[in-house]
Amino acid sequence: MPKRIIFPRKGEVVLENFELPSLQAQDVRIRTRYSLMSIGTETTILNQRYDADTHFAERFKFPQLKTGMQAVGDVEEIGSHVKDLKIGDHVFMRMAHGSHQVIASSECSLIPDTVDLKEACWCGLAKTAFRAAWAGNYSSINQVLIIGAGAVGQMAVRWASAFGVESILINDLSSFRLEHAVHGGATATLSGNIKSHVERLTEVTHKNEIPVIVDTTGNPKVFQYALAAAPMFGRIVVLGDTGYPNRQCLDSNFMSKGLIIQAVHDSHNLGGWDQLSIDRKFFTHVIDGNFNLSGLITHEFSPEDCSEAYKFVQNSQENILGVLYDWNNDYQQF
C-alpha cells in the first residue's frame, strides 16, 4: 500500500496509507527513492507560523496532505501517450513525501546517469535559489552578499559561483553552515547574528560596491539589517518567504539610498526559466563540477520516523542542511 507523510493537525506528523489516482494517458507512476525536506517551509506550515491573511494561510490547511516538494524516483509505469520517458528511468519531481506518485510526465525531469540520486533531490531548492540569480543578474556582477547559509542560502552561493561571481560574501549564525558555504564557492564569511555585523557590512558593501544583497532567511528583522547594510542604489533580493510580511517593513534607508527591493518566489517563471529548464541547467553544472553538493545531505531518516525527524530539525537547525527521507527499503510494492 502506498504511504505518505501528512500533517493532520498543527504540530502533528504521521505516516499514512493512501490511494494513488488512476494513471491517465499522459501520466507516469513513480516509486520514490528519496525525498528532501524543505525545512523552513515545512516547519512553518507544520507549526502554523504565519499570519491569517498570508498566502501560507490561503494555501495550507489541516489536514495538510502535501508536506514536501522535491523527490526522486524510478518510473514504474507509463501512460499510453507518454513518449519522453520509459520504465526504469530516474526522474526528479516536485512532489510531496510519499512512497509512490502519479504525475504528468511533462512535470518530470530525467536525471542524467552520472548524477547521484540523493544529490538530484536538490533540484527543488536549487530552482528556488535560481530566482535570486536571475533577479540579481549574477552573470553581470562581480560581488554579492548572501544573508543566511541554510539550504536555500547554500544553493544561492553555488549559483553565484557557477555564474562566475568573483566575490561571494555569506553571513550566518552557524560556523557549520558557513563552512559548507565556503565549500560551495563562498569567498568570505561573517559569523554570528547579522545585527552585530551591520556596521562592518556597511563598510564592506560600500568599500567594495557590492551591488546585490540576497536575504534568504525569511526573518523580518534580517530585512531591516539588509536595508541598513545596503550601499547607495543597491539591490536587495528577498528570497526567504516570511510568514509575517507585515513585520517586514521599509525604513528611511530605502528612500535615502535609492534602493531596489525585489521579491522572488519559487513560482515566478520569468525570463523563460521554469522548473524543467532550471533542472537542466542545474544538472549540467553538477556534471561539469561547477555545483559542489558534497556533504550537503547531513541527515537521513526512514519515513517511519517522520515525527521524530521534524522534532529533530526544529531543535538542531544550526547543525543541519539537507534532511533526506529514504524510501528504498519500504513500500516498494503495493
Q: Taking the chain (334 residues) in consecutive chunks of 10 residues, what is each chunk's mean pLDDT?
A: 95 96 96 96 93 88 90 97 96 95 96 97 95 92 94 96 95 94 95 68 64 92 90 91 90 94 88 91 95 96 96 86 90 54
232 phi and psi, to 5 degrees? -55, 135
Q: What is the CA radius of gyration of the chain?
A: 20
> CA 236 to CA 145: how far, in whole Å?
9
Q: What is the pLDDT of residue 196?
A: 63
**Closest to 210 in 3D by CA, of 220, 223, 200:** 200
Q: What is the pLDDT of residue 319?
A: 87
**Closest to 30 in 3D by CA, of 79, 80, 91, 83:** 91
Cα angle for residues 85, 90, 92 (degrees, 5° grid): 95
Q: What is the pLDDT of residue 256?
A: 95
> CA 163 to CA 141: how far, in whole Å?
9
Burial (0-12, 13-18, 19+ Cβ within 10 Å), 188:
middle
125 grid coordinates: 531548492
Class of domain 125-263: alpha beta
Residues 282-305 as b/e (b if ≥16 CB within 10 A, e otherwise) read bbebbeeeebbbeebbbeebebee
> CA 59 to CA 65: how far, in whole Å?
12
Beta carbons of 34 and 111 less than 8 angstroms apart: no
The string of DSSP codes covering 42-102 is: HHHHHTT-S-TTSHHHHH--SSB------EEEEEEEE-TT--S--TT-EEEE---SBSEEE
> CA 50 to CA 66: how far, in whole Å?
18
Burial (0-12, 13-18, 19+ Cβ within 10 Å), 262:
middle
> CA 75 to CA 85: how far, in whole Å?
8
Beta carbons of 70 and 38 less than 8 angstroms apart: yes
- Per the document, the length of the chain is 334
CATH architecture of the domain formed by 3-122+296-326 = Alpha-Beta Complex (3.90)
Residues contacting residue 29 through CB under 8 Å, at least 6 positions apart? 20, 23, 75, 76, 77, 78, 100, 101, 102
Per CATH, 3-122+296-326 and 125-263 having the same topology is answered no
CA distances from 198 to 40, 215, 276 (A): 24, 14, 38
Beta carbons of 169 and 145 less than 8 angstroms apart: yes
Q: What is the pLDDT of residue 204?
A: 60
Task: Delimit the domains of the chain by residue range.
Answer: 3-122+296-326, 125-263
Q: What is the pLDDT of residue 331?
A: 55
What pTM did the predictor assign? 0.92
> CA 121 to CA 26: how far, in whole Å?
23
